[in-house]
Structure 1
Amino acid sequence: MTALHWPPAEPGWVSVIVPCRNEARYIDTFCTSALAQQLPAGWQLELLVADGQSDDGTRERLQSLAAADARLRWVDNPGRIVSCGLNAALQQSRGEVIVRMDVHTEYAPDYIAQCLAVLAETGADNVGGPWHAVPEPGAGPMQQAVAAAFQSRWVAGGARSRDLGFDGWVDTVYLGCWPRRVLAQHGGFDESLVRNQDDEHNLRLTRAGARVWQSSRIRSTYRPRARLAQVFRQYQQYGYWKPFVMRKHGQAAALRQLVPGLFVAALGLALLAWPLAGSGLLLGLLTLYAAAVAAMTGAVAASSDLDRAAVARVPAVIAAYHLGYGLGSLQGWWAVLRGRGPRDRFARLTR
């Protein structure tokens, strides 16, 4: 990659980089949406989709779509995981600006145009919008509950990325858009990480003095998991990979990242102590957590238009978020403290 100055003297190319694997159900809709982006005058778009050895027909659909539109190129990703796919697409891209997209997200028609505008206005090194979870049309009550709980800052521990109206400097941002020079200077994505590669990349940028801006004008909608088991496994992976990021950078954990693991550890200790100390400690912890989940459920219900069936599922979704992340983080810390590498089963994607 060649480092280029920002802003460029005149409009040029925008490269959209996308990892995917086994997305036959979604790939056509995504490519059509991405290629329909409304760019400012003079800018040209290329879409590079890195396929991670799909075996469900995704690759064949990409080949067909690329034959019909020269702006689309598919890239082989033998590493299969997201970070490898992003780097493979990045290596073949030519844009002065790089936009990272995800197949399971839908984008406003001016998504890229707003990214370009916000980059120019703020001088940021990376920009993005809030993480907005929306259930699929006709979704059942479980996916509705998953989306509503996801959007709650109470459930997410106050993460700015869930605040749809926030504009300002942040530590990390959903997806991202960079001047090429930033990636040339700071490198691509860590291919040892199956999850948290975006957070690690932003951490690397901010520790080097780069700045990240979240803008409410950069609008997209994310389609979350539809089954509770999927949510649990997804957040177990998020929790598992976080300690590896912290070990790499010598970073102290934020309180919201520690609480789920500490709670799961406390539950485990209380269960082990039951034969000697009785059930009081365990019941006390469960009662306190049940009260917290009830309060969060009330907040979620008050800020959304969920029906009763969906609201009834919110407590289980919240518990899946917290307990999945907590159990995963304990498993991750156990591996890190023993000087072990990641376990193979946590390298498998969960969707």
Structure 2
Amino acid sequence: MSERVVSVIVPCRNERRYIERFCAGVLSQQVPSGWRLQLVIADGDSDDGTRELLQQLNASDSRITWIANPARIVSPGLNAALKVAAGEIIVRMDVHTDYAPDYIAQCLALHAETGADNVGGPWHAVPDADAGAMQHAVAAAFQSRWVAGGASSRRLDFNGWVDTVYLGSWPRQTFERFGGFDEQLVRNQDDEHNLRIVKGGGKVWQSSRIRSTYRPRATLSQVFRQYLQYGYWKPFVMKKHGQAASLRHLVPSLFVAALAVLAVPALFGVVWPLLGLLALYGAAVLAMTLAVWQQQASPVPVVLRIPAVIAAYHLGYGIGSLAGWWDVLRGATGRARFATLTR
């Protein structure tokens, strides 16, 4: 009886610093008896030596396959990897995430138990071992349900049916039924694909047994640009599916719009409405900071940076959303400036 294949698909670009460690971690996964592992990496025209390193890794281990992704963004890379993946189960992974030794085994087990069209775990942010106070603050804020708007994907203990999961794993039939990833989306392509599954009658399952740790951005500017992109591409997803925006997606853009509106009378000396809104927001950020600190006790240098991180999340997402809605409503395609890497 021939072995069954599980394929790991990974888009990457300029990851020479991390790619060897990542590949070693994937290849050491505890794949159940009767299964064979395949790792497919789509390289987005790396110019830092990543491609040459992938060629060496491929020559030393036949389980590794690399392909070119000239588009340089995630969704075309995922689709290109899907075309050469031989697995009956497809597992998506990210270079900047560390995985429990049984990550793939749990994905396979939960597919058998649930029959879901996509199975994944929670999104768990953990700083690098040598991280400074800012990356610790980013990770602490990232994990807070108050900052994340109550998203189930940030709840490490949640088990159940959801709208989306971190990364994900799919039976091949899921892609045959619902299609691949939308190559027009630089961000949110995973959310859009999950939305397509759920609207099409499929199911997505999140399990706390699927464990991984994500390395968040290390600087405030990177966080801002990351959430600027998340906010920008969300309206394109909503337009495609005729999806109403949830409150957690609307609040940042409404706040930024209110700031812009109240800035006009402030220019003519009527500053109290703007100051009042800023005071209310400052109180809200302080409350969220205290909630983050209560949830995850942190040293003072970390706590002092959390308000700036929260503001970067909200302002980045809000400004990005408004820019995205502007382009969607005037029928424009996504702008290149919102497609650049944020690491």
Corresponding residue to 2:265 among 253, 264, 273: 273
Q: Which moved more, 1:154-163 or 1:268-277?
A: 268-277
Query: Which residue pairs with 1:205 in the alignment?
Result: 197
Q: Secondary structure of 1:47's match?
A: strand
With over 3 angstroms needed to count, the CA separation of the structure-2 counterparts of 1:213 and 1:10, relative to structure 1, is: farther
1:47 aligns with 2:43: no
Query: Which residue pairs with 1:298 in the alignment?
Result: 290
Q: Secondary structure of 1:25's match?
A: helix
Query: Which residue pairs with 2:62 in the alignment?
Result: 70
Deviation at 1:304, TM superposition (A): 1.3
Query: Which residue pairs with 1:5 in the alignment?
Result: none
1:98 aligns with 2:82: no
Counterparts of residues 337-348 of structure 1 (less than 5 Å): 337-348=329-340
Counterparts of residues 132-281 of structure 1 (less than 5 Å): 132-276=124-268, 278-281=270-273
Deviation at 1:254, TM superposition (A): 0.7
Deviation at 1:273, TM superposition (A): 2.0
Deviation at 1:342, TM superposition (A): 1.1
Q: Secondary structure of 2:124's match?
A: coil
Q: Percent identity?
A: 69
Q: Which amino acid aligns with 1:70?
A: S
Cα distance in 2 between the residues matched to 1:215 and 1:25? 30
Q: Deviations over 1:137-171 (max 9, x none)?
A: 02100000000000001000000000000000000
Cα distance in 1 between the residues matched to 2:338 and 2:156? 31
Under a length normalisation based on structure 2, what TM-score does the superposition of the two structures give? 0.98
Show structure 1 runs of 5+ residues with no match. Answer: 1-8
Counterparts of residues 102-121 of structure 1 (less than 5 Å): 102-121=94-113
Cα distance in 2 between the residues matched to 1:11 and 1:285? 62
Cα distance in 2 between the residues matched to 1:338 and 1:122? 42
Q: Deviations over 1:18-74 (max 9, x none)?
A: 000001111011000011100111100000000000000110111111111100011
Deviation at 1:224, TM superposition (A): 0.4
Q: Which amino acid aligns with 1:68?
A: S
Corresponding residue to 2:117 among 118, 122, 125: 125
Cα distance in 1 between the residues matched to 2:153 and 2:230? 16
Corresponding residue to 2:53 among 61, 65, 68: 61
Q: Which amino acid aligns with 1:198?
A: D
Q: Deviations over 1:68-97 (max 9, x none)?
A: 110001111011100010000000011000
With over 3 angstroms needed to count, the CA separation of the structure-2 counterparts of 1:86 and 1:278, relative to structure 1, is: same
Q: Secondary structure of 2:30's match?
A: coil
Q: Which amino acid aligns with 1:138?
A: D
Deviation at 1:305, TM superposition (A): 3.1
Q: Deviations over 1:265-316 (max 9, x none)?
A: 0001000122457111101110111011001101111111311101110000
Q: Which moved more, 1:135-144 or 1:302-311?
A: 302-311
Cα distance in 1 between the residues matched to 2:280 and 2:152? 26
Q: Secondary structure of 2:16's match?
A: coil
Query: Which residue pairs with 1:323 in the alignment?
Result: 315
1:14 aligns with 2:14: no
Q: Secondary structure of 1:221's match?
A: strand
Q: Secondary structure of 1:50's match?
A: strand
Query: Which residue pairs with 1:286 in the alignment?
Result: 278
Show structure 2 runs of 5+ residues with no match. Answer: none
Query: Which residue pairs with 1:86 in the alignment?
Result: 78
Deviation at 1:241, TM superposition (A): 0.3
Q: Secondary structure of 1:328's match?
A: helix
Q: Secondary structure of 2:167's match?
A: coil
Q: Which amino acid aligns with 2:314?
A: H
Q: Aligned pair count? A: 343
Q: Which amino acid aligns with 1:241?
A: W
Query: What is the Cα-based RMSD across aligned positions, in Å?
Result: 1.1
Cα distance in 2 between the residues matched to 1:328 and 1:103? 25
Cα distance in 2 between the residues matched to 1:78 and 1:344? 15
Query: Which residue pairs with 1:309 in the alignment?
Result: 301
Q: Secondary structure of 1:178's match?
A: strand
Q: Which amino acid aligns with 1:294?
A: L
Q: Which amino acid aligns with 1:330?
A: L
With over 3 angstroms needed to count, the CA separation of the structure-2 counterparts of 1:93 and 1:299, relative to structure 1, is: same
